[in-house]
Amino acid sequence: MKKVKTCIFPVAGLGSRFLPATKSIPKEMLVVVDKPLIQYAVEEAKAAGIERFIFVTSQGKSAIEDHFDSSPTLETILKKRGKDQELQALEGLRLEPGQAIYIRQHAPLGLGHAVLCAEALVNEEAFAVILADDLVLSREPCLKQMLNAYQKEQGNMVGVMDVPYDQTHRYGILKISKEEGQKVYADGVFEKPDIQKAPSRVAIIGRYVLKKEIFHHLHKQHPGAGGEIQLTDALQKMIPEKPLCGFRYSGQRFDCGTKEGWLEANIAFAASCPELRLNLKTVLGKYSF
Ligand code: UTP
C-alpha cells in the first residue's frame, strides 16, 4: 500500500459554541498552553509522515495562513536581540515551500462539504483528515498510531473512543460487527443518534484516513443532521464497498470546540510539561471547588 502523504485540515467552521472568543479569531487558533490548536494538528501530521497540508478555510481565518508563513521582520528583530530559543520556536512551525495549500469553503455547509472542497488537491489513493479542535494528548501521536494500523486496511479508518451513552447525540456512532485488538469494524455508522437509537457508545473523533472514493459519495450526499453535509453519511454509504474500521487510539482526547474541553486540555497539557507542572499544582491549590 502507498504511503499516506496528504492531510486535510477543515478549518472553515463557525465555532459558535466558543463565541464570543471565536468572533474574529478562528477556533483553530485558540491557544492551549503555548500553541494554537492548528499547530498541534500540523505537528501531529508531520510526525506521522505527512508532506502535503491542505487547509480548508473560510472568511476570517487568514490568521491560520499567517501562522504558518515566514515573518521576516519578527525574525530579524529576534536574531538581532539574540533570542535564539524564540527563533527556534518559529522555525519549528514553518512548512516547506509548496507544502501548505489553502482552499476556501464559501459557506459552512458541513464537515463532509469541507472535505469535498479539497477533492481536486488530493492525488493519492488514501489521505488523512485531522480536526484541530479534537486535541489528543498521547505518547505516540494519534495519526501516527492510525497510519501504522492502517497498513493492512483496504477501506476507511476513523479514530474512535467510548463515550457515555448520554453523549452519543454529540458524535458519529459506530454499529460494531467485529473487534480485533485496537480495531473495531462497523457495519453501520449513525450521525448524532439519541441515546435510544445509539447502536453502541463507540464514537468517532476528529481523525480519519479515507479512501479517495469517499469523494464520489460526498458528491451525492444530501444535507443530513443539522442541515449539513455530513462526512459520517458518506462513510455509511461506502460500507458495502469497503470496510469501515474504527481505531481505538492510545491517548486522551479533548474537545477544544467547547469551553470545558479546552479548559481541561490546558490543565492536562500543562501537567504534562515539566516546567509548568509544579506551578500548576500551586495555582490550582489556591482555589477550592
Ligand atoms: P464542528 O462540528 O466543531 O463545527 O466542526 P464548528 O462550526 O467549527 O463549531 P460550532 O459547532 O459552531 O461550535 C468540526 C471541524 O470541522 C470544520 C471546523 O472548522 C472544525 O475544525 N468544519 C465544520 C468546516 O471546515 N466546515 C464546516 O462547514 C463545518
Q: What is the pLDDT of residue 267?
A: 96
Q: What is the pLDDT of residue 91?
A: 79
Cβ(251)–Cβ(203) under 8 Å?
no
Q: What is the pLDDT of residue 1?
A: 63
- Tens-place pLDDT, residues 175-188: 999 999 999 999 99
User: Does the Cβ of 103 fall within 6 Å of ligand 1?
Assistant: no
Q: What is the mean pLDDT of the chain?
A: 93
User: Whats the size of the chain, residue-wise?
Assistant: 289
User: Does the Cβ of 11 fall within 6 Å of ligand 1?
Assistant: yes
pLDDT band with cut points at 50, 70 and 90 for residue 237 = very high
- Tens-place pLDDT, residues 185-217: 999 999 999 999 999 999 999 999 999 999 999
pLDDT band with cut points at 50, 70 and 90 for residue 17 = very high
Look up the CATH superfamily of 6-285: Spore Coat Polysaccharide Biosynthesis Protein SpsA; Chain A (3.90.550.10)
**Helix axis angle, 72-80 to 84-91, nearest 10°:** 150
Out of 7, 14, 54, mutate this one to test ligand 1's pocket (max ligand atoms within 8 Å of CB): namely 14
In this structure, the residue with its CA closest to atom 5 of ligand 1 is 13
User: Does the Cβ of 224 fall within 6 Å of ligand 1?
Assistant: no
DSSP class per residue in the chain? -PPP-EEEEE-----GGGTTTTTTS-GGG-EETTEEHHHHHHHHHHHTT--EEEEEE-TT-HHHHHHTS--HHHHHHHHHTT-HHHHHHHHTTPPPTTTEEEEE-SS---HHHHHHTTGGG--SSEEEEE-TTEEEE-SS-HHHHHHHHHTT-SSEEEEEEE--GGGGGGSEEEEEEEEETTEEEEEEEEES--TTT-S-SEEEEEEEEEETTHHHHHHHPPP-GGGS--HHHHHHHHTTTS-EEEEE-SSEEEETTSHHHHHHHHHHHHHTSHHHHHHHHHHHHT---
- Tens-place pLDDT, residues 119-144: 999 998 999 999 999 999 999 999 99
Quick check: 234 pLDDT over 90?
yes
User: Does the Cβ of 131 fall within 6 Å of ligand 1?
Assistant: yes
Quick check: 288 pLDDT over 80?
no
User: Does the Cβ of 257 fall within 6 Å of ligand 1?
Assistant: yes
Q: What is the pLDDT of residue 287?
A: 87
Best mean pLDDT range from 36-45, 61-70, 78-87, 272-281? 36-45
Q: Which three cell numbers stand for residue 254?
A: 479533548
Q: How many percent of the chain have pLDDT more than 70?
A: 99
Quick check: 289 pLDDT over 80?
no
Q: Which three cell numbers stand for residue 167?
A: 453523549
In this structure, the residue with its CA closest to atom 15 of ligand 1 is 131
- Residue 156 φ/ψ, nearest 5 degrees: -90, 150
Q: What predicted TM-score, i.e. pTM, was given to this entire model?
A: 0.95
Q: What is the pLDDT of residue 90?
A: 87
Task: Name the amino acid, one letter, at 23.
Answer: K
Q: What is the pLDDT of residue 221?
A: 80
